[in-house]
């Protein structure tokens, strides 16, 4: 409206452009506006830009929005007939058709805000006047709502949509006067992502309408899906007016994809176009997940003759019932709305007839009476599947009525003197809270949105080969996250009427014992399952890492649990331990037999020669050497660890001391046989005993120092083998261990040198020869022991040490005593003093 000053003193407002005529109108004290897409298209025409464009010529009656408009009229009629709400006030309505054109939506919104008069008188303030309507109900799509809300927002005229779900409309900085009675897609998109995750579909395709509804809804779904570990194989958008090649491209993408689940954020009109193309290519067997835009639309179900959408699952507005609304909608007849062109067109379209048909009209069309039976109509019109949407319209009208009731201070009557202001009405609508006659609670949050509750719908086989919409669960965003989704899993029917949940994954789940490794250049849902390394496990499905077992544990064969490592030590039960034990006992018994023989023949020359006392002491020490090897077998303990090395060290030094004493006796005896020599005076039996005691005492001192400073202790070794714990005796002080061995080595080397020097002395039975050979074996064994001990792992190092003990002990026993036993038992004729002295030999001690 602009002010015109074409004549002096004439102040009027003239409307620019053609006036807009409402399709439905009823006068009243208070007027509510309605903006609906009563026709789904318009006739295309080529503009010449030489003449003023004609108004749009709308075609294709949209039954859904027509019923929504009738639902608005029903709510207004019910309020007018009520004595409890706005008593004495008549509510009227002005409803416009937008033909699904956003430009026309803006045009009619301005008509509702300004009024539709061509010329109007000015008010006291130039070109200002109250809004013609107190609130606007509509539009039913997000994009038109955004355009309308942008235009009327600065005037704070409330706009309440029953069906616009775009989350973007919750932005009050852009759309301050917009409210809605349907939840925001912010909740629906997140709910759809949770639904997809619930069924384990991690590899899905996505299709959305290329408008604000589809693009914003899919953006939120994609973001939430990524957070939940869901990958999109493809995400495409289109609009119903797109060229055929773009639709064909989408068909090709679906055809060659590997995902079996398609998330469709589409409007009914867009899905209709896509479904036709899918049926042409017979693309069935996909699991569809739908938004509320189409999932409970009965017309889509009727058109799905090729069963493309069988088993579809999705979210819808919860089922609702409004008393009397079904009867009111089915009672919409031209006789009840006389002169209303849209009602006449609706009737003619439904029944294929014409009112006031002249004789020149087409003969194939019958004449309408206006009393046709609506029960003959297609089920999509009379089944009231859109009742949830009608209920949203109903709640929106009642929200305005309750706000006006509060503003006008209505009790039994209302205060007519209150000046209605759009901003005041908007604030009261935002703050209302009431329950409908059916018990539905109505209120808006700070963003103008209602509580987010959805019904989960499953398309199941129904009568006449048309799918039934079966409720299989609920989604309530107000509940805790783990309780928001509630499903009746057993009642679901999937595509191809299967009871088995479809599988749609890029890669199968990684079983416990494996970990996920992403495939190069592919989304995170595409991966390979790699078995955990030894010593690592994963005990959950789809694990991204393998966890190392604690040091005392190892992974089992399946790599899904840590089991306690087997403790390994040289035990008596195993073959090697049993053989070494048998060898030790055999050596002990053999030594005992030799000792018995020597004791039995202790008075014979061969036993008495070379100090028989040292021989018996040597046999005793050899017995201890054989027995000390047993301390190395069995589970290491604190006492066994200290005992095994010290016992070994002391017994071997005692043994070598005795051998050293016998070697020195041989040398001294030879020296004593020389004329004038009195050597034996200085190395008699007492000195021999003392030398053995001193040599042994030194080793005892070394062992005491070792045990005092840093004794050996049992130690679980985790490093030698991966899957076993090697129970061994740690040396404590390495210096102490090598001091013990070194001292034995020094004595053995000294003994070997002396025996080597005495090997050619003139006795027939020169014991030094046998001592030399025994010391040669002893030294060879212990020299080879060192590298073998260091390089042997685990219990084998213990076995090497036992073997060295036994080998050196057997070497001493066999080399020194077996030749004597041979003579004693098998060659007794040689066991004489004469034979022992030999011809020309001097007498020995």
* Of the listed ranges 51-60, 421-430, 433-442, 707-716, the one predicted with least confidence: 51-60
pLDDT of residue 6 exceeding 50? no
CB neighbourhood size of 389 (10 A): 24
626-655 core/surface letters (b: 16 or more CB in 10 A; e: else) = bbbbbbbbbebeeebbbbbbbbbbbbbbbb
Per-residue pLDDT band for 785 (boundaries 50, 70, 90) equals confident
* Of the listed ranges 70-84, 122-136, 160-174, 623-637, the one predicted with least confidence: 122-136
| C-alpha to C-alpha distance for 90 and 102, rounded to whole angstroms | 31
Contact 240, 276 (CB under 8 A): no
* Of the listed ranges 152-161, 191-200, 336-345, 411-420, the one predicted with least confidence: 336-345
| C-alpha to C-alpha distance for 721 and 566, rounded to whole angstroms | 11
Q: What is the pLDDT of residue 843?
A: 38
pLDDT of residue 360 exceeding 50? no
Q: What is the pLDDT of residue 610?
A: 62
Cα 787 versus chain centre, distance: 52
pLDDT of residue 461 exceeding 80? yes
Percent of the chain surpassing pLDDT 70: 88
Residue 387: φ, ψ to 5°: -55, -35
Q: Of 240, 268, 236, 261, nearest to 251 (Cα)?
A: 236
* Of the listed ranges 412-426, 601-615, 711-725, 763-777, the one predicted with least confidence: 763-777
Average pLDDT over residues 822-843: 68
DSSP letter string, 59-107: EEE-HHHHHHHHHHHHHHHHHHT-SSSSTT--EEEEEEE-TT-HHHHHH
Per-residue pLDDT band for 264 (boundaries 50, 70, 90) equals very high
Q: What is the pLDDT of residues 734-757, one digit of tens each?
A: 898 889 888 988 888 888 887 777
Q: What is the pLDDT of residue 844?
A: 34
Per-residue pLDDT band for 331 (boundaries 50, 70, 90) equals confident
Q: What is the pLDDT of residue 471?
A: 93
Tokens 């201070």 locate to 409
**What are the C-alpha distances in Å from 52 to residues 17, 48, 110, 119, 219?**
10, 9, 20, 21, 41
pLDDT of residue 72 exceeding 90? yes
**What are the C-alpha distances in Å from 812 to residues 145, 159, 528, 765, 772?**
108, 112, 65, 17, 10
The overall average pLDDT reported for the chain is: 85
Q: Six-digit token pair at 548? A: 């190392």
Tell me the longest C-alpha to C-alpha distance in the chain: 174
pLDDT of residue 210 exceeding 90? yes
Average pLDDT over residues 667-675: 59
Q: HSE of 352 in the Cβ direction (CA atoms, 13 Å)?
A: 6
Q: Which one has a higher pLDDT value, 461 or 677? A: 461
Helix (H) or strand (E) holding 669: helix 638-672
Per-residue pLDDT band for 2 (boundaries 50, 70, 90) equals very low
DSSP letter string, 710-734: S--EEEEE-SS-SSEEEEEEE-S-H
| C-alpha to C-alpha distance for 517 and 520, rounded to whole angstroms | 9
Q: What is the pLDDT of residue 298?
A: 85
Q: What is the pLDDT of residue 136?
A: 96
Q: What is the pLDDT of residue 738?
A: 86
pLDDT of residue 191 exceeding 90? yes
Contact 255, 280 (CB under 8 A): no
CB neighbourhood size of 822 (10 A): 11
Q: What is the pLDDT of residue 756?
A: 76
Per-residue pLDDT band for 615 (boundaries 50, 70, 90) equals confident
Q: What is the pLDDT of residue 5?
A: 43
Per-residue pLDDT band for 26 (boundaries 50, 70, 90) equals very high
Q: What is the pLDDT of residue 7?
A: 47
Strand locations in 765-836 (E)? none
Q: What is the pLDDT of residue 4?
A: 43
Q: What is the pLDDT of residue 548?
A: 92
Q: Of 50, 135, 130, 669, nearest to 402 (Cα)?
A: 135
Q: 315: helix, coil or strand?
A: strand
| C-alpha to C-alpha distance for 394 and 283, rounded to whole angstroms | 39
Q: What is the pLDDT of residue 598?
A: 87
pLDDT of residue 383 exceeding 70? no
Per-residue pLDDT band for 767 (boundaries 50, 70, 90) equals low
Contact 157, 422 (CB under 8 A): yes
Tokens 């995750």 locate to 197
* 66-80, 410-424, 670-684, 804-818: which is most confident: 66-80
Q: Of 831, 837, 783, nearest to 808 (Cα)?
A: 783
Contact 279, 236 (CB under 8 A): no
| C-alpha to C-alpha distance for 614 and 654, rounded to whole angstroms | 11
DSSP letter string, 409-477: T-SSS--TTSPP-HHHHHHHHHH-EEE-TT--EEE--TTS----EEEEEEEE--GGG--EEEEEEEEET
Q: What is the pLDDT of residues 104-142, one digit of tens each?
A: 999 999 999 887 665 555 555 444 555 689 999 989 999
Contact 94, 113 (CB under 8 A): no
| C-alpha to C-alpha distance for 178 and 145, rounded to whole angstroms | 8
Query: First-to-last CA distance in the chain?
Result: 149
Which contacts of 524-530 are long-range, i.e. CB under 8 A and separated by 24 or more positions? 524/229, 524/231, 525/202, 525/203, 525/229, 525/230, 525/231, 526/203, 526/231
Contact 817, 619 (CB under 8 A): yes
pLDDT of residue 200 exceeding 80? yes
Provide the β-strand partners of residue 568.
726
Percent of the chain surpassing pLDDT 90: 45
Average pLDDT over residues 522-536: 91
Q: What is the pLDDT of residue 839?
A: 44
pLDDT of residue 362 exceeding 80? no
Q: What is the pLDDT of residue 251?
A: 95
Contact 459, 498 (CB under 8 A): no
Q: What is the pLDDT of residues 580-610, one digit of tens each?
A: 999 999 999 999 999 998 888 888 887 777 6
pLDDT of residue 10 exceeding 60? no
pLDDT of residue 330 exceeding 60? yes
**Would strands 547-548 and 553-555 be described as parallel, antiparallel, or unpaired?**
unpaired
Q: What is the pLDDT of residue 369?
A: 80
């Amino acid at each position: 409206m602009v002010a015109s000053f074409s004549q002096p003193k004439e102040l009027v407002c003239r409307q620019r452009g053609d006036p807009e005529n409402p399709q439905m109108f009823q006068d009243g004290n208070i007027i509510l506006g309605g903006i609906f897409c009563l026709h789904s298209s318009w006739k295309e025409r080529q503009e010449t830009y030489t003449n003023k464009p004609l108004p749009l010529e709308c075609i294709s009656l949209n039954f859904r929005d027509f019923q929504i408009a009738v639902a608005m009229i029903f709510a207004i009629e019910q309020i007018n007939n009520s004595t409890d709400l706005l008593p004495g006030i008549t509510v009227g309505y002005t409803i416009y058709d937008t033909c699904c054109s956003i430009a026309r939506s803006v045009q009619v919104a301005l008509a509702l805000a300004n009024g539709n008069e061509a010329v109007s008188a000015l008010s006291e303030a130039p070109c200002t006047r109250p809004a013609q309507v107190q609130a606007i109900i509509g539009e039913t799509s997000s994009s038109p709502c955004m355009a309308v809300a942008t235009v009327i927002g600065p005037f704070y005229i409330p706009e309440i949509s029953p069906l616009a779900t775009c989350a973007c409309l919750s932005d009050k900085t852009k759309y301050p006067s917009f409210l809605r009675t349907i939840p925001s897609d912010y909740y629906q998109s997140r709910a759809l992502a949770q639904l997809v995750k619930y069924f384990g579909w991690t590899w899905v395709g996505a299709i959305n309408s290329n408008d604000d509804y589809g693009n914003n809804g899919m953006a939120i779904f994609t973001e939430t899906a990524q957070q939940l570990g869901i990958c999109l194989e493809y995400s495409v958008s289109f609009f119903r007016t797109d060229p055929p090649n773009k639709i064909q491209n989408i068909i090709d993408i679906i055809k060659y994809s590997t995902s079996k689940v398609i998330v469709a954020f589409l409007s009914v009109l867009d899905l209709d176009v896509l479904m036709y193309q899918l049926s042409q290519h017979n693309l069935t067997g996909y699991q569809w997940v739908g938004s509320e835009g189409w999932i409970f639309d009965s017309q889509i179900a009727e058109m799905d003759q090729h069963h493309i959408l069988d088993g579809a699952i999705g979210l819808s507005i919860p089922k609702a019932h409004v008393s009397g609304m079904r009867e009111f909608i089915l009672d919409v007849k031209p006789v009840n709305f006389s002169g209303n062109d849209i009602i006449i067109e609706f009737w003619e379209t439904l029944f294929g007839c014409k009112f006031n048909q002249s004789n020149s009209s087409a003969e194939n069309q019958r004449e309408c009476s206006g009393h046709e039976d609506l029960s003959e109509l297609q089920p999509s019109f009379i089944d009231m599947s859109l009742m949830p949407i009608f209920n949203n319209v109903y709640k929106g009208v009642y929200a305005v009525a309750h706000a006006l009731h509060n503003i006008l201070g209505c009790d039994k009557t209302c205060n007519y003197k209150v000046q209605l202001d759009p901003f005041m009405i908007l604030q009261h609508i935002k703050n209302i809270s009431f329950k409908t006659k059916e018990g539905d609670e109505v209120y808006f949050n700070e963003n103008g949105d209602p509580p987010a509750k959805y019904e989960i719908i499953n398309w199941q086989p129904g009568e006449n080969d048309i799918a039934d919409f079966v409720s299989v669960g609920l989604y309530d965003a107000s509940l805790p996250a783990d309780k928001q989704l509630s499903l009746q899993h057993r009642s679901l029917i999937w595509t191809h009427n299967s009871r088995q949940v479809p599988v749609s994954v890029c890669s199968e789940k990684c079983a416990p014992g494996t970990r996920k490794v992403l495939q190069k250049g592919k989304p995170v849902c595409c991966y390979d399952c790699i078995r955990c390394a030894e010593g690592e496990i994963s005990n959950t499905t789809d694990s991204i890492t393998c966890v190392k077992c604690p040091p005392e544990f190892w992974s089992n064969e399946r790599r899904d649990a840590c089991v306690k490592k087997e403790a390994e030590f040289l035990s008596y039960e195993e073959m090697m331990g049993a053989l070494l034990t048998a060898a030790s006992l055999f050596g002990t018994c053999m030594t005992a037999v030799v000792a018995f023989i020597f004791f039995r023949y202790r008075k014979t020359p061969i036993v008495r020669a070379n100090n028989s006392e040292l021989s018996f002491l040597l046999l005793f020490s050899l017995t201890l050497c054989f027995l000390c090897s047993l301390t190395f077998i069995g589970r290491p303990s604190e006492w066994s660890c200290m005992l095994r090395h010290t016992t070994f060290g002391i017994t071997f030094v005692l043994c070598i001391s005795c051998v050293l004493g016998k070697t020195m006796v041989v040398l001294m005896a030879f020296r004593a046989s020389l004329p004038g020599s009195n050597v034996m005076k200085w190395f008699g039996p007492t000195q021999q005993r003392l030398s053995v005691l001193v040599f042994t005492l030194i080793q005892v001192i070394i062992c005491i120092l070792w045990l005092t400073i840093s004794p050996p202790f049992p130690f679980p070794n985790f490093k030698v083998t991966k899957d076993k714990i090697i129970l061994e005796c740690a040396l404590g002080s390495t210096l102490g261990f090598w001091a013990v061995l070194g001292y034995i080595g020094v004595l053995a080397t000294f003994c070997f040198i002396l025996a080597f020097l005495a090997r050619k002395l003139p006795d027939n039975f020169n014991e030094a020869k046998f001592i030399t050979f025994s010391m040669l074996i002893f030294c060879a064994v212990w020299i080879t022991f060192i590298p073998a001990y260091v390089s042997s792992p685990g219990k084998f190092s213990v076995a090497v040490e036992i073997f060295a003990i036994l080998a050196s002990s057997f070497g001493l026993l066999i080399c020194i005593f077996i030749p004597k036993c041979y003579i004693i038992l098998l060659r007794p004729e040689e066991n004489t003093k004469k034979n022992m002295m030999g011809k020309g030999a001097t007498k020995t001690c």
